[in-house]
């Protein structure tokens, strides 16, 4: 079943509004091995916003199909997120590649973000396609998911931290096996496209608030910074399970390179609407 995920949100900061179209239109994402929560893997997508300095031109479009992607930071791992058409692996021909955030393994935290700077007062429109699948075994294991999130571009590249792996989806803080992991640096909003469902889990592994595990769900978490396990740090905002909708579907498409004609096709559209008067919602 081919599916289009739509989100319409009211933003908290008019100073962080921008207008984009087709931010990402080709992503290849491998799922991880194993079924236990200990082996969770997160897939992360980041957009860089900054309320000052010079600004990018619109629309901003990056396909990730080629061997290079201008002004994009790759990180996480090991290994780091990478372009499948790039050396040294060159898994795909130039022009036919994808952005792969993780390999088929455990505890990975691949991420990318754009160093382009965006500012505007007319809202934010984002579109991207994603593929989540595995190449071994007969059934997709269901962990963990991916997250699109916004963070303060005042954070220098060298000081940026990705959030916790697994159910934290690279955005929220994490308390795992007697070790603490910080959340994403000066995060503003995290939109978790969650296969396993722990991004919505209340106080699970240090995450703040939520209805509990909700597989096949879209969950929003608010602003946060660092590792503090306090109620306002990356707090839960809302969750919708896609399998509970009238036109229900699973988050994972299960097919690499799916097109709109395929059942495994998945596309996300996010629409952020400016908050009148600006400021922060309580």
150 by Cβ neighbours in 10 Å (0-12 / 13-18 / 19+) ranks as: buried
- pLDDT value of position 141: 65
Backbone Cα Rg of the chain: 17
How does pLDDT run across 177-224, given as a tens digit for each residue? 999 999 999 998 999 999 999 999 987 799 999 999 999 999 999 999
Torsion of CA 66, 69, 74, 78, to 10 degrees: 20
Q: Which range has highest mean pLDDT (53-62, 133-142, 152-161)?
A: 152-161
Asked if 276 and 13 touch (Cβ cutoff 8 Å), the reply is no
- What per-residue confidence (pLDDT) applies to 233? 97
Q: For 143, how many CA atoms within 13 A lie in the half-sphere containing its CB?
A: 23
Q: For residues 275 and 198, which has the higher predicted lDDT (pLDDT)?
A: 198
Contact 191, 148 (CB under 8 A): yes
DSSP letters for 38-56? GG--EEEEEEEE-SSS---
Which of these, 146, 151, 56, lies nearest to 99 by C-alpha position?
Answer: 146
- Beta-strand pair 27-30/99-100: parallel
Domain annotation covers residue 278: no
On whether the CB atoms of residues 83 and 64 are closer than 8 A, the answer is yes
118 domain-assigned: yes
**In 28-113, which ranges are continuous DSSP H helix?**
none
pLDDT at res. 114: 86
Number of domains composing the chain: 1
DSSP β-ladder status, 99-100 and 42-49? unpaired
The parent domain of residue 191 ranges over: 3-273
Cα distances from 2 to residues 32, 61, 110, 151, in angstroms, run 22, 23, 26, 30
Residue 25 lies in a domain: yes
Task: Dump pLDDT digits (tens) for 84-142.
Answer: 999 999 999 999 999 999 887 777 889 999 887 666 466 778 899 998 887 666 555 66
pLDDT score for 106: 78
Q: Considering the domain boundaries, does residue 279 fall inside one?
A: no
d(Cα 14, Cα 165) in Å, to the nearest integer? 30
Q: CA-to-CA distance for 24 and 102, rounded, in angstroms?
A: 16
Question: Which pTM does this prediction carry?
Answer: 0.81
Residue 29 vs residue 146, higher pLDDT: 146
Using the predicted structure, report yes or no on whether residue 53 has a pLDDT greater than 50: no
User: Does residue 243 belong to any structural domain of this protein?
Assistant: yes
Residue 68 pLDDT: 97
Q: How confident is the model at residue 248 (pLDDT cuts 50, 70, 90)?
A: very high
282 in any annotated domain = no
pLDDT tens digits for 4-52? Answer: 555 444 433 222 222 222 222 223 322 222 222 222 233 354 444 333 3
CB-based contacts of 245: which residues, under 8 Å, 6+ apart? none
pLDDT at residue 232 is higher than 80: yes
The more confidently predicted of residues 26 and 245 is: 245
């Amino acid at each position: 079943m081919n599916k289009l995920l739509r989100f319409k949100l009211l933003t908290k900061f008019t100073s962080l509004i921008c207008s984009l179209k087709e931010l990402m239109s080709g992503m290849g994402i491998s799922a991880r091995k194993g079924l236990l929560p200990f082996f969770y893997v997160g897939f992360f997508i980041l957009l860089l916003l900054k309320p000052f300095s010079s600004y990018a031109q619109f629309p901003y479009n990056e396909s990730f199909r080629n061997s290079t992607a201008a002004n994009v930071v790759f990180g996480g791992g090991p290994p780091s997120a990478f372009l499948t058409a790039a050396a040294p692996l060159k898994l795909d021909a130039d022009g036919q590649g994808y952005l792969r955030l993780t390999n088929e393994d455990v505890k990975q935290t691949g991420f990318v973000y754009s160093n382009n700077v965006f500012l505007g007062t007319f809202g934010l429109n984002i579109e991207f396609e994603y593929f989540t699948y595995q190449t071994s075994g007969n059934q997709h294991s269901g962990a963990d998911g991916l997250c699109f999130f916004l963070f303060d571009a005042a954070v220098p590249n060298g000081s940026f931290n990705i959030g916790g792996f697994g159910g934290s989806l690279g955005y929220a803080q994490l308390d795992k096996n007697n070790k603490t992991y910080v959340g994403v640096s000066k995060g503003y909003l995290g939109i978790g496209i969650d296969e396993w469902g722990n991004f919505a889990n209340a106080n699970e592994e240090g995450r703040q608030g939520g209805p509990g595990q909700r597989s096949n769900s879209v969950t929003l978490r608010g602003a946060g910074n660092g590792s503090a396990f306090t109620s306002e740090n990356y707090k839960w905002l809302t969750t919708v399970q896609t399998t509970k909708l009238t036109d229900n579907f699973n988050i994972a498409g299960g097919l690499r390179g799916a097109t709109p004609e395929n059942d495994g096709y998945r596309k996300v559209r996010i629409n952020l609407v400016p908050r009148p008067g600006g400021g922060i919602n309580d």
